[in-house]
Amino acid sequence: PRDLVGYGQHTPKDVWPNGERVAVQFVINYEEGGENCILHGDAASEAFLSEMIGAPALEGVRHMSMESIYEYGSRAGFWRLHRLFTERNLPVTVYGVTTALEKHPEAVQAMKDADWEIAAHGYKWINYQFIDKDEERRQVREAIKKHEEITGERPLGWYTGRTSPNTRDLVYEAGGFLYDADSYADDLPYWVYDYEQPYLIVPYTLDTNDMRFATNQGFNSGDQFFTYLKDAFDMLYAEGASAPKMLSVGLHCRLVGR
């Protein structure tokens, strides 16, 4: 069943160390090389999250412009974000698509050298909404196996993004995760009790997220993105005096990295 109540008026008080008001999480989505492409065995080209808003998926042929937009993310955008965060010694969580990570060992090593968390972001960067349950199960398990081979560590966090109704059950079934981020339902981590053991959800966000540079009625300039982030932080910080909060900031190598 859906939970439309959550914490309600009873937000936990002692959430963050030393009584801090807000925890800020920076997420870099590493997807380039895992997107839809007929070279990857997919039926059509990618159509999602690029500056070509509304680009159609091209059936059975390569979309050279879309491919190069994604390639920019891994070739240039990643390294720009890597420099910005490592120069400031800011912690980062990477949501890493398995088939993207395996194509760029140098980037993976840079993530590890920076001591960034590399969470699992699905086997491929595709929409799982209508994927057969057994096939999705296979891909979840293959993602975990290959992620460990690629990074040297088993992933402890999971975020698919374009989920199916089965995704959370399959991730829990696979086991071994500390948290699941496939939710946008709260300003704080929360537990779900649908399984044998309580399962921690660390919610992500689609509003304090650079994806809005690639959506209708989104951001048109860096100033707009900064203002929105600042407004969100200021509000959560003020509320955090009595009810601690979390702010997740979503970034993409091919978007804000450009």
Q: What is the pLDDT of residues 72-100, one digit of tens each?
A: 999 999 999 999 999 999 999 999 999 99
The model carries a pTM of: 0.94
Q: How many helices (H) and strands (E) does the chain have?
A: 7, 8
- Tell me which residue range forms the domain holding 37: 21-252
98 SS3 class? helix
* Spatial distance between the Cα atoms of 63 and 48, rounded to a whole number of angstroms: 12
pLDDT at 114: 98
CB distance 163 to 206 below 8 Å:
no
pLDDT at 14: 87
pLDDT at 132: 96
Confidence of residue 51 (pLDDT cuts 50, 70, 90): confident
Is residue 257 one of the residues assigned to a domain? no
Is residue 10 one of the residues assigned to a domain? no
Task: Please give the structure tokens belonging to residue 257.
Answer: 């990295």
CB distance 120 to 159 below 8 Å:
yes
Is residue 11 one of the residues assigned to a domain? no
pLDDT at 1: 79
Q: Which of 2, 32, 202, 160 is nearest to 107 (CA)?
A: 32
User: In sequence order, what are the residues at sequence separation of 6 or more whose Cβ sits closer than 8 angstroms to the Cβ of residue 24?
Assistant: 233, 246, 247, 248, 249
> What CATH number is attached to the domain comprising 108?
3.20.20.370
Domains: count for the chain: 1
pLDDT at 150: 98
